Structure 1
Amino acid sequence: MRLSSIAILASAFLFAAVSSLVAASFAVTQVEATTEIQIRQALDESQMGWAEVQADGLQLHLTGTAPSEARRFAALTVAGRIIDASRVIDGMNVTPAEQIAAPKFSVEILRNEGTLSLIGLIPAETDREALVARLNKLKGVEEVSDLLDVAAHRVPDGWSPALDYAVKALNIVPRSKISVEASRVSVTGMADSPAERNQMETALKKAAPREIKLKLDISAPRPVIAPFTLRFLIEDGAPRFDACSADTEEARAEILAAAASAGLEGAARCTIGLGVPAPEWSEAATKSIAALAKLKGGSVTFSDADITLIAAEGTEQGLFDDVVGELENGLPELFTLHAVLPETPEKGEEGPPEFTATLSPEGLLQMRGRMTDEQSRSAIVSLAQARFGSDAVHNGARLDETLPKGWSIRVLTALEALAKLSNGAVVVTPDTVSVSGNTGLESASDEITGLLSDKLGEAEDFSVEVVYQEKLDPQANVPEPEQCIAELKQIQEVKKINFEPGSATIDAESMGVMDDISEVLKACGPFRMEVAGHTDSQGRETMNQQLSANRAQAVLNELRMRRVLTASFSAKGYGEEFPIADNGTEEGREANRRIEFTLLTTDATEDESSLEDHARSAQEDAASAASDEETAAEDAPAASAEDGSGDATEEGSGDD
């Protein structure tokens, strides 16, 4: 009885314990599940679906791979807002840095004269302060706005050369937007004229490193065309333009379409410019071209609002009358038409009088044929000598007083046209003026057509067959700086530049050497060069250094007086510092007394100023030449006086 009571009591206690344990276990499981759900929802709302959540009793394990250290910490923070942060066990990994894609580094540099802005993302290794300092040193820059962001990633290949080149390019194009990426630079800018645009593009291309992919978009205002000229011909069934002008893109498209309908094949050039005489220019041009196509031969020439249509010889009178009448009635009101049907010459009739002038590739001019009188011949020869050089002109033309009125004007105009060519010929007859040849000037055909149309007047026929050749273009065929320096050294290997003893005055016999050097530099275009003076070791060192500097400056002055652009050249004296031979012998001292021309490297900030110098005009050099001559005159006696006390032995040993 007693044992049974104890058993019952023990069973009750055991049941209660088991029940409590089951209830506690259920409660813990329920808490774990609830906590996991709450934290999972919070992480999803924070866009952290990569994080895994697992509850273990009162502890919470976070696992998964975070995209960055910052996101890992953010996940811990989210969990810590729901449960005690001490219960959160961090088991998360972080994506390795090398697996994160590097950002695209790029910079937009905007310059409008004195204001400059930097926008973009650069590597942290880029010396930002040094970059801004370089930009502040650019001439004309008054304010630099730094709006750059920085990212700590590896510097991509080609980034530094591209950024360096962009800074240099800012000196060439003062109004520009320069976009920089690794190994890529895009320059968008404005020039004041087409000629300046060509100079900018040439300088930009020369300064660009080979590893840089360069894109240029330099715009220039439209040129003023005076007179506004168009000339379209059909000869032997072949249409062509001698000159074409338009006032808008739409007008150009309409004119070229009319020419294509008339049989013109291939690409044709038509200049868009200012100075159009009437808004209906394209309408008048297209109708005139269509009229010439109906005649199947001849020429139509516009000089402003004056139109001259000359039919081909042999054109039927009835067809000519119909086409001309239709054109006259269809032209806009401002335009006037002068139409000519040439008479067919009788068989056996003697050919017309003629004047011919031929310009050789070497620049020699031969004139043949007829001139009216002695006064006209004198004027023609004077013009030829002024255009081609006194020694280059040979006149073999005879006088003929029976020549038609206006003959001399036609001859003078033809010579003016020939002067725009590198080589070619002109033929003048009573009926026509023909110009043919080669040129390195792309606009030569337009300019010659405008000249003939303006000078000869309406109803006068002429032909222009001019071929542009890139090899003759002075802008396209400028020698490389290294080649120019090599030519200067070759000149001095034959005969060096010598000076009067103990002074900075170039001796008379060396003036021919200076002429040769000047011709080379005129053909070379702008580049950075140092004119360096050197002496032997006799005399005082300070006096030798001053003498060498004065001599280098004297050479630079002589170049300026010969109209060489010297804005990017510098003169420097090195005295006796760098001998190239033994100063213990007379031959060695003679070799050490020298002038050297050295190409300066296009490195760091020095190149920036040189590129700016390239943009200076010839007028600036010419204006400074007179001042430099006075300086040279003052320097020469001073050098002699100084040399007299410190370099006297050099004078006695045959100083150059």
Structure 2
Amino acid sequence: MRLVTFAVLTGTFALAAVGSLVAAGFAVTQVEDASEIGIRTALDKADLDWAEVQANGLQAILSGTAPNEAQRFRAKTAASTVVDASRVIDDMNVEARTALSPPHFSIEILRNDSDISLIGLIPAEMDREALLRSIARLRGVSEVSDLLQTADYPVPRGWKDTIAFAVAALNDLPRSKVSISANEVAITAMSESIPEKRQLESSLKAKAGPDIRLTTEISAPRPIIAPFTLRYVSDAGGARFDACSVDTEAARSQILAAARDSGLPEGTTPRCTIGLGVPSSEWGRATALAIRAVGKLGGGSVTFSDADISLLALEGTSQSTFDEVLGELENRLPDVYALHAVLPETPDRDEEEGPPEFIATLSPEGLVQLRGRISDEVMRNAAEALAKARFGAERVYTSARLDEDLPEGWSLRVLTALDALSRLSNGAVTVTPSSVGIRGNTGDQNANADIARLFGDKLGQTADFDIDVTYHEKLDPVAALPSPAECISQINALQEDAKINFDPGSTNVETGSRKILDSIAEVLKTCPELPLEIAGYTDSQGREEMNLALSKNRAQTILDELRMRRVLTRTFQADGFGEDDPIADNGTAEGREANRRIEFRLITEAPAEDASAQGDGEGDGDGGGEDPAAEEADNGSGAEDEPVEGAGDDTVSEEAGPEETGPEETGNIEEGSGDE
């Protein structure tokens, strides 16, 4: 009986196992058939009838001989739309071609802080995964987008070393574009200051060595704001500042109050740069009026470029409201400002959508807007990263929408167009299915030729592109540099409201006087190779040789302070003139205060001879400047005595001190009244 029961149970399990195997085999067959049919259909729709597909479990094996590498890639892409790309096995061949030259291998690496995108064509033999790993390990990188394609050709000579250098360079380039080809690297990036730019260029050249042709285009912000710019936008995305320049803290507060009244969210504190170059002392009032006008219109944007104002209302704003608000604004604006206002026409909603296009505009104040169509999210990020590397992260606004049906090569045309736009001071580029067009203004006389070469190299010599770029000398960065006389004029303007004080009995600059030195340093950074004399003066109290030594030492202190602020001082000299050339009466406290000063002036040929002749005398004075001090110490002046100052501190009575407290402002940078 037990044997019968055992036999029945065994038979039952055996039948169940057989049934499971049959069902599993049937399921696998169904998956294979579905995959084959789906991929075959996708290949037929793409006119890829040369390709064959065979399913093996979950894998789909593509075979056949492709006419070219592009067709092989299209077949693999079509199969990946049906099954996961990791399940597609590429077993295809490419027709042998004779007399074909290898393609131009190149990589464009776009870095925007933590995000990096790689676009281009690399040899199939190259260790692609190793490249991606090395980039992912770079300092601060969190995401790497791989848009690379491969071609089965030999690796060019020097390719490996070029790639290694480019990856190493990226460590120091948080916002940049690095273009790589064999033995050649072009780097475009932004730095925080002119000294940082020079240090970065020097470091990159040293790392590149003699075998790599390195081209760098590293820009640094100019310390003087030109043009003086402000842009306020209020649209569906909310209220915000795209740019904000102010001349004073009071103007900044005035502008922010107007913005908050017009919809700027509470707690939002935009960055407003305080700088030189304001077109009018009423900048704060004018910009606040325009911002409130945008609020009254219910939205729009207003852009200031020096005294030129562009106001754009939102589409759909009523004509009556527009006329009322603009009339009020025009009547209240200061006379120096010129207003141009636009009310967009409401488009015909029944009008058919035109052909796809991508447009990037660069305003005169350096603001960039990307709009139109982009193929996908990865490409939009890549385009935005390139724009930020070229124009600055805070200057780019993207409103482009995604469209998966764009023609082949659209992404390359968009990136090339943005690259070309960076050659302009202001303008726009337009990408359409049939052409790429660029128009605008530049300060580079070679811009037209450079753009033509760029389009030819990237898009092909047969591509249809249109270039309408005009050179303007006033936009030339070299021509725009201030003249030596203008530099001195700017420094004198700063001196009208500020002065330098020194600690009593010392050549140390008082803490409260460092702000004026910061401002002077920013001006001098825009004046290369300026032949500048820093001249120190004292009043007539005290011994003449002591005053001469102190004036020289204090002038040297100012020179050292400028060096610490990274001003190039190779063409500067510090001179002391003691009590010579008084500009006020030394018989009064106010006069002595005015005479204790430091002046900035140009070195000309005639004074140079006098200075040379006087230098010998000053050298003697400097020597005497130390001996009298030592003599004072030897004579037992003691720690209880007042410190010796070049203004004659050791000879001033206690009654003289109080009447000289509270320094008055003069047109010069003056030394502190504490000397007396």
Common fold, TM-score beyond 0.5?
no
Larger Rg: 1
TM-score (norm 1): 0.35
TM-score (norm 2): 0.34
